[in-house]
Structure 1
Amino acid sequence: MRKGRLKLVSVILALVVLVQPFSRMAVFISFKINQDYISRVLCENRDKPELSCHGQCVLMKKIKKLEEKEHNQDMQIIKQLNELIYTQITFDWSPVPLIIQSTDTRQYITDTPHMYSAYALSLFKPPRIS
């Protein structure tokens, strides 16, 4: 079941990636299929047969609209990348242990003489004899 979902997601992602480059071709194919209808009904120059437009004005408008849409998407992606680059935070992490000066007379075995960590001592207690 999980492999099936993974394949489905990968196919959907592949289609999404491949659809954008072929969008102009899809517009052109759609135009060629519907060219008779476009030239008779939608063409701006249908009343001027001497121009022999045959609906190409509609095709040019659709291609221009598609280019503007792609340009706007590209600009949004560039803007997001710029925001991503400029919001990068450098984090200088240097560990600072909690060290407290010892005031009691007990002896602790540590690698730092005369200092101990209160947190470590609260966690690790030696066994008691009762």
Structure 2
Amino acid sequence: MLIKPTAILLLLSLLTVNFANAFVFAGFEMNQRYIAAELCVNKDKPQLQCNGKCYLMKKLKQAQDKEQKQERQAQKTQIQDALVVTPFVFNQYPFSEITLHVPVSTGMPQAIRNSIFHPPQFIG
């Protein structure tokens, strides 16, 4: 009963985010006369023939900045969700329970091991 209106509301909210620039253009087209006459930065310079496009560019820039800010915030949230910190527990064992396994042989014949792996010789 309440699922269908909720789904429609969520769908519309997703569409408004994706079409933010289209809404800015539509608002500009509907109110272009008012914007050119009242809100335009260059209304004192009719030779530029701006007709409110400066205001449109300003609004598009604001919408783009807002979208980038929301994207950065979403990335921060994703990083915080990914970095779940679990406490590190250090178990201390008595020395008598620790067994050290030292390899007896490296698996190489003695002659090869000594001929390749040796400190550099000083020639002088």
1:75 to 2:72 alignment: yes
Question: Take 1:88 and 1:20, find their aligned partners in 2: how far apart are those partners?
Answer: 32
Selected match of 1:39 from 29, 36, 41 = 36
Question: Take 1:28 and 1:88, find their aligned partners in 2: how far apart are those partners?
Answer: 45
Shift of 1:67: 0.5
Selected match of 1:61 from 52, 58, 76 = 58
- Report the AA paired with residue 14 of structure 1: L
Question: Take 1:45 and 1:71, find their aligned partners in 2: how far apart are those partners?
Answer: 28
Selected match of 1:23 from 16, 20, 34 = 20
Q: Which 5+ residue runs of structure 2 have no aligned equivalent?
A: 87-124
Q: Which 5+ residue runs of structure 1 have no aligned equivalent?
A: 90-130
Question: Take 2:30 and 2:5, find their aligned partners in 1: how far apart are those partners?
Answer: 31
Classify the secondary structure of the residue corresponding to 1:20: helix
Question: Take 1:64 and 1:87, find their aligned partners in 2: how far apart are those partners?
Answer: 36
Question: Take 1:64 and 1:39, find their aligned partners in 2: how far apart are those partners?
Answer: 18
Question: Take 1:18 and 1:51, find their aligned partners in 2: how far apart are those partners?
Answer: 35
Q: Percent identity?
A: 37
Q: Deviations over 1:90-126 (max 9, x none)?
A: xxxxxxxxxxxxxxxxxxxxxxxxxxxxxxxxxxxxx
Q: Deviations over 1:18-72 (max 9, x none)?
A: 1111111011011011001100111011111110100000000000000000000
Q: RMSD between aligned alpha carbons?
A: 1.4
Question: Take 2:26 and 2:85, find their aligned partners in 1: how far apart are those partners?
Answer: 44
- Report the AA paired with residue 37 of structure 2: R
Question: Take 2:38 and 2:6, find their aligned partners in 1: how far apart are those partners?
Answer: 41
How many pairs does the alignment contain?
87
Shift of 1:88: 6.1
